[in-house]
Chain A
Amino acid sequence: MSDRKPITAFLGQEMIFFDGGMGTMLQSAGLKAGELPELLNLRQPEIITDIHRQYYDAGCHVVTTNTFGANRGKMEAAGYSVEEIVTAAINCAVAAREASDTPEKKYIAMDIGPIGRLIEPMGDLSFEEAYDVFAEMAVSGEKAGADLAIIETMGATYEVKAAVLAVKENTSLPVFVTCTFDERGKLFTGADVAAVVALLEGLRVDAMGMNCGLGPDELYPVIRQMASLSSLPLLFSPNAGLPKQKDGVTYYDVAPSDYARSMRRAASLGLCAMGGCCGTTPEHIREMIARCGDVKPALPADKGITMISSYTHAVTIGQEPLIVGERINPTGKKRFKEALKANDISYILGEGIAQQDAGAQILDVNVGMPGIDEPAVLEQTVKKLQGVLDLPLQIDTSHPEAMERALRAYNGKPLINSVSGKEESMRAVFPLVKKYGGTVVGLALDDTGIPATAEERVAVAAKIISVAAEYGIDKKDIVIDGLTLTVSAEPEAAKVTLETIRRVKQELGVCTTLGVSNVSFGLPRREMINAAFYTAALTAGLDCGIINPKSEAMMNAYYSYRALSGFDEGCGDYIARYSASMDDATAAKSAVSSGMTLKAAIVAGLGEQAAALVREALSGENPPAPMTLIQEELIPALNEVGEGFEKGTVFLPQLLMSAEAAKAAFDVLKELLAGDGSEQKLGRVILATVKDDIHDIGKNIVKVLLENYRFDVLDLGRDVPPEVILENVRKHHIKAVGLSALMTTTVVRMAETIALLRKEAPEVRIFVGGAVLTEEYAMQIGADAYCRDAMASVRYCRKIFDC
């Protein structure tokens, strides 16, 4: 071991200078387009060593190894192992360091670049696979003698998270992370600066910043924004300007002296480290050091901002009241429990999206109920939710394993619900908060139970904050739940809760939350009490109200409070919401009074109206049997639209609108039928987009239509391997499988899937569809039927199920 101080000891003490571009230098050394730069570490190490030497000579403290793309995929394709390439790369840097004048002050950063594939759900690489790729690089780097890891040029938050966890869990290297922003201040995957800051602070990296993409002037507003939000040290390594092209070669034209001047301006924002990326050379770095060497860096002040994030944006708690949607929770919800038991993820996603549309800014996610594998289901639910919506999630569980798996899978910095003042709870939860990042809800109760007075609850909250600090969790990452008890059982309950909220805000200076709806258990017209209590709590200083955003009364209270408390400038939001001419509910009522038939509403694709008409029909004096409504109104409507579609008088969007209207009507019936066993499905069908194909819109259209015709659809998703389809056919005794493929390349996978099913499950019927398929080709690959559109799939399934 050397007596070199850890690089982190210099943060805030003196400006740390990183090197400049490697690619640019390799190009001038003769690297051709298409050649893998990492192979030079082995083939021509003297070139790499010389580049590092030039940077050390220019005055850099840190050089970055030539390992940007030294990941498993690329290296193995070239016939090398990651370890041999990384070791060779580090040896090059070590050789340059030993030849430098003060090797004890020189550092080697193991460079880790993006894999070049997107992680699910945006792409097809799994989070775990990405983690393994990065772990292999980091472990090889540490073993070969790197002093720190730099994860750089990142364009996706999920990939950043996989890389940071891989380095931290498998090595003891300090971690610096820089992402690549565009001029709008966004990553490729849409994350803004605040979302990146929240994530990286949560993951407790040693320094964060940005590199590549643009030049120092174009990135100046972006790094300035990062400096205003981050409580961690910043590293800034832009390009030598915007990329330009000449004769097929990309080049950058900001001169060393101009680069140095621009970097000096950026340094005054409070940087702790700086370097360069594409187009920068030892000359750029030398001039930069000459101009910025006297800048005294300072560790950034703790901004004290309570911030959580999704993969696109951050939400700041404590500025204005926020709505946490409470509906993803099985407690007291028969329909939700059924969906969980049946693994009906689309119902849960629908609840999430509906709450976002209704105004939720954060979604609580709780799937705890007896008889399910909570860790697996919670992890899966978090992954699926972040595939369809971009709200930060509040991970709600008392199961430590479920919490850890969900935190690991979450793409951002979540709210975590919850820890309490109980010793056991704090011991289980705080290490997870520390490791994965998050803002945690602290319940003001402890081993002695729920305190009866506000005084005692504030004391428990104070204890939670102080124990958290022992784990290195700042109080800005604690949100105290003052505990809502049922007022019908405990007359003083609401008063104590409100008092707790007020005092926690004032005396402890932390943010607050409440599960508002608990207050009204056992009372009639619960919404009235809930809304009044919500308003009172907001007045007392409630930051995060866990409520039902689909409740009109609650949203009325929310919008009114914002208007009255100066959060809604010019009452703009209030006016926008309440001055609208006719809302859906009014339209639905008018459908009922206008005498429109259910069949007509479905044919016209009017969902709200169809649902209202079903409610109306069933609330009359002599309500029809639900099956009568289905047979006499719904099915004939669907048939009429379906026939029109096949004749070409009804088009796809109209067909789907009718399907959705029918679904809205079915959903009303389903609520009434839930559990009484009279809801019968016609038969179970598997749908899947075949392996290697990530296009699923066609399959999703078929799904909507089949469900409409009461088929029980098991949707296996996209990019589904043949074996998984077979396994599900066996497990669920499936009679029909629908396969979709978009591209000529993936039709080959379809053929393989059919061959496997024919061999192992010869009784199953297979129907296929997709843009490049034809009847002839479908027969050639052994399908039972070619379905040119969704209605053809319905017709085929009705035929084989004889219905």
Chain B
Amino acid sequence: MTDRQCNSFIGDVDVREVLRYAGVKNADLCGEDIRQSALRAIREVGETASPRHIACECTLLTEENCCVIDGISIVSRDLAAHLQGCEKVLLFAATLGSSVDLLIARYSAVRMSYAVLLQAAAAAMTEQYCDNVCQTLEASYQKEGCWLKPRYSPGYGDFSLESQTILLDRLNAYKYAGITVSGGGQMTPMKSVSAVIGITRQRQRGQNGSCASGKCANCSHTTCAFRRT
């Protein structure tokens, strides 16, 4: 489903986060020109993006090393552990659309310094968009006394990247959001996310108990350059 409020989340994207994604480890030490370019990149990605998402509530059964979502088995011990205590899940996919990929390709051909900022802005914006959508979804679940767990995507832990296709097929993600999988199993448009979100009656830790917070805390990639400490 298209985000009808046209790219209203652009203002929520943090320029320091964008700089961090672009390899600027300390935003205070980079020049004002770079900061301005990053702001321009956020604006330009925001103007170019056609964000879309799709979410679908499914039944869940968890076993020790496997989850059965709407009757489809996904073998993953980590996903099963993550979904402990959940009765149902939301399957979720979101994208900024293929125009953003072309924007990055355009600058990669002539001005790589700006292409890396666009790439970073697009990555930050994808996260921000997903966070905003999930907050809205969570608000409606809270009325029924439920909370959402953080998004858990194929590629995390032992939740295989190949599972991505199962999620996207179940969501009919091409039809509703234009998200496809390439022959090599990668999502196109490239700035796309697929995830499983647990629905639980237990309040989540983090700010407001929201699904969008505390993203890095549970990840096993402790040496990741982008890990938030």
Residues of A participating in the B interface, judged by any CB pair closer than 8 Å: 32-34, 114, 116-118, 121-125, 153, 155, 182-184, 186, 188-190, 212, 242-243, 245, 247-248, 250, 312, 346, 349-350, 353-354, 387-390, 605, 648-649, 651-654, 656-657, 659-660, 691-697, 700-701, 704, 719, 743-746, 749
Contact = CB atoms under 8 A, between A and B. Distances in A.
Contact of A248 (B23, B59, B108): B59
Interface stretch (B76-84, B181-189, B207-215): B181-189
A117 B23 contact: no
Contacts of A694: 182, 184, 186, 188, 190
Q: Categorize the interface residue count of chain B.
A: 35 or more
Residue from the set A182, A212, A696 with the largest chain B CB neighbour count within 10 Å: A182
Q: Top 7 closest A-B pairs, CB basis?
A: A692-B184, A188-B178, A652-B23, A656-B113, A124-B182, A651-B24, A123-B188
B112 A704 contact: yes
6 contacts: A116-B174, A118-B180, A188-B50, A188-B98, A704-B112, A745-B184
A190 B50 contact: yes
Given A153-B175, A696-B108, A691 B97 contact: no
A190 B117 CA distance: 22
A58 B59 CA distance: 37
B127 interface: no
A381 to B, nearest CB: 13
Nearest to B4: A183
B109 to A, nearest CB: 4
A455 B182 CA distance: 57
Interface string B138-168: 0000000000000000010000011000000
B20 to A, nearest CB: 10
A652 B22 contact: yes
B217 interface: no
Contact of A182 (B2, B72, B155, B180): B2
Contacts of B181: 117
B219 interface: no
Given A182-B2, A691-B184, A694-B186, A700 B70 contact: no
Given A33-B70, A651-B23, A653-B34, A124 B112 contact: no
Nearest to A350: B110
Nearest to B120: A653
Contacts of A390: 102
B115 to A, nearest CB: 7
Nearest to A605: B113
Interface in B178-228: 178, 180-186, 188-190
B116 interface: yes
Given A33-B70, A245-B56, A694-B186, A653 B111 contact: no
A389 B110 CA distance: 11
Contacts of A32: 71
Interface string B14-40: 000001001111000111011001100
Given A117-B181, A121-B102, 19 more contacts: A118-B188, A124-B183, A182-B50, A188-B97, A189-B99, A242-B1, A243-B1, A346-B109, A353-B109, A605-B113, A648-B25, A651-B24, A651-B30, A653-B34, A656-B113, A692-B185, A693-B186, A697-B108, A700-B108
A387 B189 CA distance: 14
Contacts of B183: 117, 124-125, 692
Given A190-B98, A651-B25, A653-B23, A116 B112 contact: no
Nearest to B221: A772
A651 B176 CA distance: 39
Contacts of B71: 32, 34
Nearest to B90: A248
A150 B101 CA distance: 30
Contacts of A719: 182, 184
B104 interface: yes
B161 A653 contact: no
B119 interface: yes
B64 interface: no
Given A697-B116, A697-B119, A389 B106 contact: yes
Q: Is the interface of A mostly helix, strand, loop or mixed?
A: loop
A695 B190 contact: yes
B118 to A, nearest CB: 9
A41 B74 CA distance: 29
A488 B115 CA distance: 46
B121 to A, nearest CB: 12
B184 A746 contact: yes
Nearest to B184: A692
A743 B186 CA distance: 9
A791 to B, nearest CB: 12
Contact of A123 (B19, B50, B182): B182
Contacts of A696: 108
B105 interface: yes
Nearest to B168: A116
A246 to B, nearest CB: 9
Nearest to A789: B23
B174 A114 contact: yes
Residue from the set A125, A153, A695, A745 with the largest chain B CB neighbour count within 10 Å: A745
B58 interface: yes
Contacts of A118: 98, 180, 182, 188-189
Contact of B175 (A190, A212, A704): A212
Contacts of B178: 155, 188-189
Contacts of A649: 29
B105 A387 contact: yes
A157 B162 CA distance: 28
A743 B29 contact: no
Nearest to B160: A745
Residue from the set B38, B172, B180, B189 with the largest chain A CB neighbour count within 10 Å: B180
B44 interface: no
Nearest to B117: A653
Contacts of A346: 109
A214 to B, nearest CB: 9
Contact of B161 (A190, A247, A744): A744
A744 to B, nearest CB: 7
Contacts of B119: 697
Contacts of B31: 654
Contacts of A745: 161-162, 184-185
Nearest to A187: B178
B184 A124 contact: yes
A182 B58 CA distance: 26
A659 B110 CA distance: 12
A656 B58 contact: no
Given A122-B102, A653-B30, A186 B110 contact: no
B96 to A, nearest CB: 11
B112 A659 contact: yes
B63 interface: no
A213 B52 CA distance: 12
B111 to A, nearest CB: 6
Contacts of A155: 174, 178
Contact of B102 (A188, A245, A387): A387
Contacts of B189: 118, 122
Nearest to B225: A771
A694 B185 CA distance: 10
A353 B186 contact: no
Given A183-B2, A248-B70, A695-B190, A123 B112 contact: no
B181 to A, nearest CB: 7
B186 A700 contact: no
Given A346-B109, A653-B34, A696-B108, A243 B176 contact: yes
A312 B99 contact: yes
B12 to A, nearest CB: 21
B184 A653 contact: no
B87 interface: no
Contacts of A248: 56-59, 70
Contacts of A388: 102, 105-106, 108-109
B70 A122 contact: no
A656 B70 contact: no
Nearest to B226: A771
